Amino acid sequence: MIRPIIVAAFLASAGARATEWVVDERLAPPFAQEDLRGVFVLLDREGERFITNDPVRARRPFLPASTFKILNSLIALEERAVADEHEVLAWDGTDHGSSGWNRDHSLESAFKASAVWFYQEMARRVGEERMAHWLRLAEYGNAGIAGGIDLFWLEGALRITAEEQLLFLERLHDGHVPFSQRVQDTVRRVMIAEEKSTHAVRAKTGWALRGEEGPTGWYVGWVERDGRAWFFALNCDLPRERDGRVRIRVARACLKALSVLQPGEHEILPRSN
């Protein structure tokens, strides 16, 4: 059963598009099965609606954590903090507690491994003034960078809602973000988490540990199939370390419940943060 919720306050935040919010009961079981508390939101452009289990949490701001690597990649490439996605930065030998992080990285490999140190270096190279400029221009969350140029998305001032994540991703997909075509094409390519003959998934995880909201997880992106794109965002509480492993599984179960992915399609293992 689908129970529609149409609230004027929700409609206003979606910009010019008249978008309906629909609470769909099929999204509850994936969270219950994993004992996970959170929200899943799907932007269905053809139906001009957001489909979710929790429209209130969908508009609550959280630290973006490593989902900010999507925008950080766009900014770093546009500002020539690295020449391209293949330029390698040497690991300085600091133990980051992860074999996937404790090595040299390019932007492409750092995105896949979610290597925080690489993106902190990218942010330092860009600098506060240019970083603030790009966040405002990209209309990314509250665009706050207080708390340190290499920490603001991990424990500082930056906040974004699941709804805002979807609208930013939609703009990136459509080429409506303020970056060159070359940079946009590169980041969309780097974002590929799964590519099959039937569909592709472009996505990024995130895990915020130090915000006042408590440990929070993300999985955001979009699914391409049959000439269409469905944009999704999962945001959840992560009080237990084991919960980090189920973010992608819950998101994929929600996508299957809504028939965006099909049963039996390949399951992606979650990244570390």
Q: Domains plus CATH for the chain?
A: 2-257 (3.40.710.10)
What's the chain's average pLDDT? 90
CB atoms within 10 A of CB 193: 16
Side chain identity at residue 201, one-letter code: V
Q: Which of 3, 114, 119, 32 is nearest to 72 (CA)?
A: 119
CA distances from 20 to 45, 46, 158, 181 (A): 11, 12, 27, 31
pLDDT digits (tens, 9 = 90+) for 161-184: 999 999 999 999 999 999 999 999
pLDDT digits (tens, 9 = 90+) for 70-110: 999 999 999 999 999 999 999 999 999 888 999 999 999 99
pTM: 0.91
Instruction: Report the catalytic residues.
Output: 66
Residue 195's pLDDT band (cuts 50, 70, 90): very high
Beta strands 192-195 and 228-237: pairing type? unpaired
